[in-house]
């Protein structure tokens, strides 16, 4: 038999039963299956047949782009045909704020947004009704001047970049915060400026780059009585066990007294040949911190 477009359904069932069974599935079920693929993978199914040409546009998958020649146009071309997107990740793509605002405005089901390494992002405003947005990351965008976040259901936020004004306008559900680079200074040493959104934090992760400068300043400055009443978990990445690191950890224990349940220490990788000496120092500091823990809190070493 010659396989062509005019073959009968019975012939297709006899020679290719899987194909025929898939064709019998409803469009709704096919869309649900395609939603398990990334958006780019789902888009390739448009080549199967006329019926499949537009099914991918109704999927609720994720869209990821990695350094697309530093241009976001490719992502936009796909986005024009899909409004059910749930996750958007742009890595090394020079996406301007207008691009992100376009995605947010046209994807009402968007739950996760990640932008990393954009050299063009400067002033991003996430305002308006974004009821589905729950997680957001802005990292390594070194030209950021300001952020304005108004997302009533946002639960997790990660920002690693330049020091900026407090970005949050309305984030009553925010419970997990990861901050790094120069923005750490503002949170650690001017904590009272962040009470409008940090009062409900349950997990705080500090990823400091210029660690020595931060911890030396922490060793000199007091908390001035500021306490995070809901802070549950603190994680310090790059812990070396030196005296200034120890002082910073004590500083954070003081901020979280009364509510802190766990402090996590992740030591820095060692490339200078002092591994044994540093491990001994870290173990010593961890024992000293354990003795200072508030009631009900525990220390975890990674």
Q: Are residues 94 and 147 in the same domain?
A: yes
φ, ψ of residue 68 in degrees (nearest 5): -80, 75
Whether residues 100 and 157 share a domain: the answer is yes
Domain that holds residue 37: 24-59
Mark whether 49 and 73 lie in a shared domain. no
Band the pLDDT of 139: cuts 50, 70, 90: very high
Please list, in sequence order, all residues whose beta carbon lies within 8 angstroms of the beta carbon of residue 215, skipping any fewer than 6 positions away: 208, 242, 244, 245, 247, 248
* Helix intervals (H) in the chain: 9-15, 17-23, 27-34, 39-43, 73-79, 97-106, 183-189, 195-198, 211-220, 243-255, 275-292
The answer to whether residue 14 is domain-embedded is no
Are 131 and 245 contained in the same domain?
A: no
Query: Do 173 and 154 form a contact (C-beta atoms < 8 A)?
Result: yes
Residue with the bigger pLDDT between 117 and 182: it is 117
Q: Based on the structure, what is the number of domains in the chain? A: 3
Across 82-91, 98-107, 128-137, least confident range: 82-91
Asked if residue 54 and residue 87 are part of one domain, the reply reads no
Q: What is the pTM of this model?
A: 0.66
Reported as a pLDDT band with limits 50, 70 and 90, residue 63 is confident
233 part of a folded domain: yes
Buried-exposed string 97-127: b where 16+ CB fall within 10 A, e elsewhere? bebbebbbeebeebbbbbbbbbeebeebbbe
User: pLDDT (tens digit, 9 = 90+) per residue, 153-207?
Assistant: 999 999 998 888 878 888 889 999 888 877 777 776 676 677 777 767 888 777 7
Long-range contact list for 71-75, CB < 8 A, 24+ apart? Answer: 72/96, 72/99, 75/99
d(Cα 113, Cα 125) in Å, to the nearest integer?
Answer: 13
Instruction: Assign 123 to helix, strand or coil.
Output: strand
Q: Domain check: are 259 and 195 in the same one?
A: yes
More confident residue, 139 or 188: 139
CATH classification at residue 205: 3.30.870
pLDDT digits (tens, 9 = 90+) for 208-222: 655 555 555 554 554
């Amino acid at each position: 038999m010659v396989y062509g477009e005019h073959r009968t359904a019975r012939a297709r069932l006899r020679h290719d039963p899987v194909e025929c069974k898939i064709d019998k599935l409803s469009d709704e079920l096919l869309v649900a299956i395609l939603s398990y693929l990334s958006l780019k993978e789902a888009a390739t199914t448009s080549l199967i047949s006329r019926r499949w040409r537009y099914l991918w546009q109704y999927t609720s998958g994720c869209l990821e782009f990695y350094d697309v020649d530093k241009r976001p146009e490719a992502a936009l071309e796909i986005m024009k045909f899909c409004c059910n997107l749930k996750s958007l990740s742009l890595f090394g793509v020079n996406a301007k704020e207008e691009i992100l605002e376009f995605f947010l405005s046209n994807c009402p089901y968007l739950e996760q947004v990640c932008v990393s390494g954009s050299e063009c992002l400067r002033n991003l405003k996430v305002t308006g009704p974004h009821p589905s947005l729950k997680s957001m990351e802005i990292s390594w965008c070194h030209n950021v001047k300001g952020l304005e976040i108004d997302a009533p259901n946002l639960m997790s936020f990660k920002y690693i970049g330049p020091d900026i004004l407090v970005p949050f306008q309305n984030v009553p559900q925010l419970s997990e915060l990861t901050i790094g680079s120069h923005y750490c200074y503002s949170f650690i040493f001017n904590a009272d400026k962040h009470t409008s959104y940090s009062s409900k934090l349950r997990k705080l992760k500090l990823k400091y780059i210029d660690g020595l400068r931060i911890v030396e300043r922490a060793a000199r400055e007091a908390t001035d009585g500021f306490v995070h009443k809901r802070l549950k978990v603190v994680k310090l990445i790059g812990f070396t066990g030196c005296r200034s690191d120890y002082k910073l950890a004590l500083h954070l224990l003081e901020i979280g007294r009364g509510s802190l349940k766990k402090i996590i220490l992740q030591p820095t990788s060692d490339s200078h040949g002092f591994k044994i000496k540093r491990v001994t120092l870290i173990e010593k500091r961890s024992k000293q911190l354990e003795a200072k823990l508030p009631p009900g809190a525990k220390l975890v070493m990674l």
